[in-house]
């Protein structure tokens, strides 16, 4: 029996929802009755996911498409304003937009890469939260931040990424405490290896990527790497006031046992 959520009447804004975890999350919210905002930098990808959301919506609700770059504050403002103008409110903010940044400390472009990692993975989370709080306070809504197990362990050549995600974890806990009096819940999810387009940043042949997923998956206690739907399911759980109304400030590890088993990528 599959678990079904009821988000009828709710408005869910999912950043970075034109692919991967964000897309799966948007589609699940739409399937559960929510009005969904699909956003990303590629208009065609945004449109494709928005159509999928509308197709699975029980009432055929039209998903809102907003092309935006979350490292740009003007785009963030436009995203939020368009959402409120269209739906009148925001109930759930999923801060999912992010990127993998690989750089060694002695690389000549390290500081540039470090800055990009912070802007994309941390600053966008902080800014979207900052601007959405007035709207979430009205709905007693909640925020789910997509972090990573990289916030809990070092990964060679990925220090900018690891640091940005560690910042997301601490921001989540701080906001849970600070926004509690306004009845806004704030939680974070730490995915392990998930088969998405995240590996594109390494510019590896598809055969090598598939082999990496296979090798890592064999090391996981559950016997496979994650799928976007695995993380989307956790987002929906945390977003539901009915089943998770007493959960806030939690860092929810959803990694197939990666951390528990001390899985190595070597």
Catalytic residue among 127, 161, 220, 237: 161
Give the residue from 126, 151, 129 showing the smallest Cα distance to 142: 129
For residue 1, the number of C-alpha atoms closer than 13 Å in the C-beta half-sphere is 3
Reported as a single tens digit per residue, the pLDDT across 84-102 is 999 999 999 999 999 999 9
Which pLDDT belongs to residue 199?
61
255-266: average pLDDT: 91
The predicted pLDDT at position 1 comes to 39
- Is the residue at 125 inside a domain? yes
User: Is residue 5 one of the residues assigned to a domain?
Assistant: no
Mean pLDDT computed over 211-223: 92
Say if 264 falls within a structural domain.
Answer: no
Report yes or no on 3 lying in a domain: no
User: Helical H runs in 142-256?
Assistant: 159-179, 206-219, 228-239, 241-244
- Tell me the average pLDDT across 199-209: 68
Q: Does residue 103 form part of some domain?
A: yes
Residue 39 counted as domain residue: yes
Using left for φ > 0, alpha for ψ between -120 and 50, and beta otherwise, residue 104 falls in beta
**Alpha-carbon span 29 to 44, nearest angstrom:** 21
Residue 27 lies in domain: 11-254
Instruction: Output the domain CATH number for residue 174.
Output: 3.40.50.720
What is the tally of structural domains in the chain?
1
For residue 127, indicate whether it is catalytic.
Answer: no
In a domain, 247, yes or no: yes
pLDDT digits (tens, 9 = 90+) for 100-157: 999 999 999 999 999 999 999 999 999 999 999 999 999 999 999 999 999 999 999 9
pLDDT at 201: 58
Is residue 1 domain-resident?
no
């Amino acid at each position: 029996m599959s678990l079904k959520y009821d988000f009828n009447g709710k408005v869910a804004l999912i950043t970075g929802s034109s692919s991967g975890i964000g897309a799966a999350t948007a589609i699940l919210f739409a399937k559960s009755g929510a009005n969904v905002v699909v956003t990303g930098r590629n208009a065609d990808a945004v449109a494709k996911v928005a159509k999928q959301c509308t197709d699975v919506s029980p009432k055929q609700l039209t998903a809102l498409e907003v092309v935006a770059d979350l490292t740009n504050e003007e785009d963030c403002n436009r995203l939020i304003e368009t959402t409120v103008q269209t739906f009148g409110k925001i109930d759930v903010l999923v801060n999912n937009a992010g990127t993998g940044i690989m750089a060694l400390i002695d690389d000549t472009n390290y500081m540039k890469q470090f800055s990009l990692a912070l802007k994309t993975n941390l600053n966008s989370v902080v800014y979207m939260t900052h601007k959405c709080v007035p709207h979430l306070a009205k709905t007693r809504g909640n925020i789910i931040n997509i972090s990573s197990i990289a916030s809990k362990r070092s990964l060679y050549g990925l220090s900018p990424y690891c640091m940005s995600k560690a910042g997301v974890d601490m921001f989540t806990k701080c906001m849970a405490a600070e926004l509690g009096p306004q009845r806004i819940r704030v939680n974070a999810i730490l995915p392990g290896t998930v088969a998405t387009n995240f590996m594109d940043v390494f510019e590896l042949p598809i055969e090598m990527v598939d082999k990496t997923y296979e090798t890592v998956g064999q090391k996981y206690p559950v016997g496979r790497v994650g799928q976007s739907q695995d993380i989307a399911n956790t987002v929906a759980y945390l977003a539901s006031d009915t089943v998770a109304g007493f959960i806030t400030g939690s860092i929810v590890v959803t990694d197939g046992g990666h951390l528990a088993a001390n899985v190595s990528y070597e």
